[in-house]
């Protein structure tokens, strides 16, 4: 089988006493989007910098298109584009001026640099702003300009480090459209994000990372399946919270969380709980429920539980089983 375009194996990186990466593994097949999802400080930027040859791992290996990021850094650089967490464009130049300058820095002949600048401005919807100084651009426009700057040499592999952090919803949507365009062209994208909806919308596969290692990976659906369905119960009144809680604990094997004055929710870590059982058990305990439902967890719930930022303060820690890698 063909090796994935991006492969990271057992990456470690220390900064003084901080162990930023602790054995990080990643594999991104050609033409797919891998969403590297993790909270602040999880190690996302450190991983991207190593993959992009800007930093060396203390241990472990990484290859891009089969080339080692340390020993064959030039080969790697010829195949990647990087848009960092902070836009790296020149404030004093216009959008077009920036693209032309970067084209020249990449040793394109002048005419080719100009042609490529216009092509990218047109394609990614920045032509109207092309001749305005970047200092007057919105945050979203800067990020998009930064993104297209990384495309000048048509890299087959693109690293996007938190491309939409801090942007308003509309600008985020525009960046997402731009990314989809690139993927349609066959570009392999590794995208870091703190936003679950972003990973859910764009990524074929997600690697959830925390404290420098992958704590779960799979498609968005596979990840949702790892923590099982949830049982939500809304009571007719709040006087029966205790009884309802006892019934839910018996069915789920863990304590439910209050999600409102009369609402309780619990993850179902073992399968086989049916709605009819819940209704019957509540009835038997004399609990009047206004609503009972079983549902898939949201990706938010998955993320919060996997990264130990306690989504269910009442339900204790994530079990070992749930933290296992999906595949
Ligand atoms: N150059 C550096 N010097 C010291 N510590 C660093 C440096 N870069 C990152 N770190 C630390 O490494 C950890 C991971 O950081 P980072 O990769 O930037 O996380 P993320 O991008 O997921 O927010 C954090 O604890 C951060 O403070
Ligand atoms: Mg970062």
- Residue-by-residue DSSP string for 304-322: HHHTT--S-TTS-SPPHHH
Q: Identify the architecture of domain 225-323 in CATH.
A: 2-Layer Sandwich (3.30)
Confidence of residue 1 (pLDDT cuts 50, 70, 90): low
pLDDT at 224: 80
pLDDT at 301: 77
State in Å: Cα 13 to ligand 1 middle.
Answer: 10
For the chain, the residue count is 327
State in Å: Cα 20 to ligand 2 middle.
Answer: 11
Pocket of ligand 1 contains residue 41 by CB under 6 Å: yes
Phi and psi torsions of 290, nearest 5°: -85, -30
Ligand number, closest to the Cα atom of 160: 2
Strands lying side by side in the sheet with 80-83: 80-83, 157-161, 188-193, 33-37, 205-210, 213-218
pLDDT at 85: 73
Q: Distance (Å, rounded) from C-alpha 37 to C-alpha 196? A: 7
State in Å: Cα 193 to ligand 2 middle.
Answer: 8
CATH of domain 6-223: 3.40.50.300
Lowest-confidence region among 35-49, 95-109, 157-171, 295-309: 295-309
State in Å: Cα 15 to ligand 1 middle.
Answer: 8
Four-residue CA torsion sign, 118, 95, 97, 83: negative
pLDDT at 308: 65
Pocket of ligand 1 contains residue 43 by CB under 6 Å: yes
Atom 7 (ligand 1): residue with closest C-alpha?
15
Give CATH 3.30.70.100 domain extents, the chain.
225-323
**Is the pTM here over 0.85, yes or no?**
no
Task: Please give the span between the terminal C-alpha atoms of the chain, in angstroms, as a whole number.
Answer: 17
> What is the token pair recorded at 266?
């619990």
Atom 1 (ligand 1): residue with closest C-alpha?
15
pLDDT at 326: 32
Q: Distance (Å, rounded) from C-alpha 75 to C-alpha 64? A: 9
Judge whether 55 and 44 are in contact, CB under 8 Å. Answer: no
Confidence of residue 210 (pLDDT cuts 50, 70, 90): very high
Burial of 186 (C-beta count, 10 Å sphere; 0-12/13-18/19+): exposed
Q: Which atom of ligand 1 is nearest to the CA of 212?
A: 14
Atom 16 (ligand 1): residue with closest C-alpha?
43
pLDDT at 314: 35
């Amino acid at each position: 089988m063909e090796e994935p375009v991006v492969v990271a194996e057992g990456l470690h990186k220390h900064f003084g006493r901080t162990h930023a990466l602790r054995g990080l593994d990643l594999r991104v097949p050609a033409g797919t989007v891998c969403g590297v999802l993790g909270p602040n400080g999880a190690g996302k930027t450190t991983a991207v910098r190593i993959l992009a040859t800007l930093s060396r791992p203390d241990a472990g290996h990484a290859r891009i298109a089969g080339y080692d990021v340390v020993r064959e850094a030039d080969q790697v650089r010829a195949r990647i584009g990087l848009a960092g967490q902070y836009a790296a464009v020149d404030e004093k130049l216009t959008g077009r001026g920036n693209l032309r300058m970067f084209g020249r820095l990449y040793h394109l002949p002048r005419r080719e640099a100009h042609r490529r600048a216009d092509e990218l401005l047109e394609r990614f919807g920045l032509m109207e702003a092309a001749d305005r100084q970047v200092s007057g651009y919105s945050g979203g426009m800067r990020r998009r300009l930064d993104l297209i700057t990384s495309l000048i040499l048509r890299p087959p592999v693109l690293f996007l480090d938190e491309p939409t952090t801090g942007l308003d919803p509309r600008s985020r949507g525009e960046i997402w459209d731009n990314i989809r365009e690139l993927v349609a062209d066959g570009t392999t994208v590794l995208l870091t994000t703190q936003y679950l909806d972003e990973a859910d919308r764009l990524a074929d596969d997600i690697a959830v990372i925390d404290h420098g290692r992958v704590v779960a990976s799979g498609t968005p659906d596979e990840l949702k399946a790892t923590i099982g369905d949830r049982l939500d119960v809304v009571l007719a009144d709040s006087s029966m919270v205790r009884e309802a809680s006892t019934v839910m604990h018996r069915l789920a094997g863990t304590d439910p969380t209050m999600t409102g004055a009369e609402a309780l929710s619990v993850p179902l870590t073992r399968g086989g709980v049916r709605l009819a059982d819940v209704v019957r058990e509540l009835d038997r305990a004399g609990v009047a429920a206004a609503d009972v439902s079983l549902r898939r967890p949201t990706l938010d719930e998955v993320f919060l539980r996997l990264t130990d930022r306690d989504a269910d303060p009442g339900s204790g820690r994530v079990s070992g089983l749930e933290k296992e890698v999906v595949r």
